[in-house]
Chains A and B, each alone.
Chain A
Amino acid sequence: MLFFSFFKTLIGKTVAVELKNDVILTGTLHSCDQYLNLKLSSVTVVNGDKYPQLGCLKNAFVRGSVVRYVQIPSGEVNTELLEDATRKENAPKKREVAK
């Protein structure tokens, strides 16, 4: 849920999505869902000369499972907030008191 919320804060920002087949798409993050599927608008293919068939791509839905990396504009991220949210989300579960 942490990263779902995180990606929601990035909606409207420009990101570069690197897929597991080495295609890199840059575009504006339009929306995302709980599976981290992403919708991109005004897409350009970074290494486009290798993939001429993708040249006409303008809007894309990317299945979350084929993503390797998402490059994020670092100025848009509050890292302290992110670290605190991570600590909270992954906090050790309190043991139930026996007896």
Chain B
Amino acid sequence: MSSIESPLDLIRLSISERVYVKLRSNRELRGVLHAYDQHLNMVLGQVEETVTSKEVDEETDEEIVKKSKREVDMLFVRGDVVILVSPPLKST
């Protein structure tokens, strides 16, 4: 019998794998999932955070998309800012 019965079981199978996490305020994380709970509080390791921001060029009125990245060794993420968690992608 499959051990997937609830949506959270999908995340359970991603423990100690690299996952993609989308957060509020245009933030994304990629890191190794070490722990989570039912609120989606998480501990991730070897995290890369990407913050995407948009700026409007004053002269040309064009929107410029800025991405800033930083790396953190180990990070606790509070569950209420989490939008989605995706299992490891082969490409990441």
Contacts and interface: CB of A to CB of B under 8 A. Distances in A.
Interface of A: 1-3, 6, 20, 36, 64-65, 67-74, 77, 79, 82-83, 85-87, 89-90, 92
A20 B45 CA distance: 21
A87 B34 CA distance: 10
A2 B37 contact: yes
Given A68-B78, A87-B12, 5 more contacts: A3-B76, A68-B77, A72-B75, A86-B35, A90-B12
Contact of B37 (A3, A67, A68, A70): A3
Interface of B: 3, 5-6, 8-9, 12, 15-16, 23, 34-38, 41, 43, 45, 72-78, 80-81
Contacts of B77: 68-69
Contacts of B43: 3, 6, 72, 77, 82
A72 B15 contact: no
Nearest to A95: B5
21 contacts: A3-B76, A6-B43, A36-B78, A64-B78, A68-B23, A68-B78, A71-B73, A72-B73, A73-B73, A74-B45, A74-B73, A77-B43, A82-B34, A83-B34, A86-B12, A86-B15, A87-B12, A87-B15, A92-B3, A92-B5, A92-B6
B18 to A, nearest CB: 13
The 7 closest A-B pairs by CB, nearest first: A74-B73, A74-B74, A70-B76, A86-B35, A72-B74, A82-B35, A79-B34
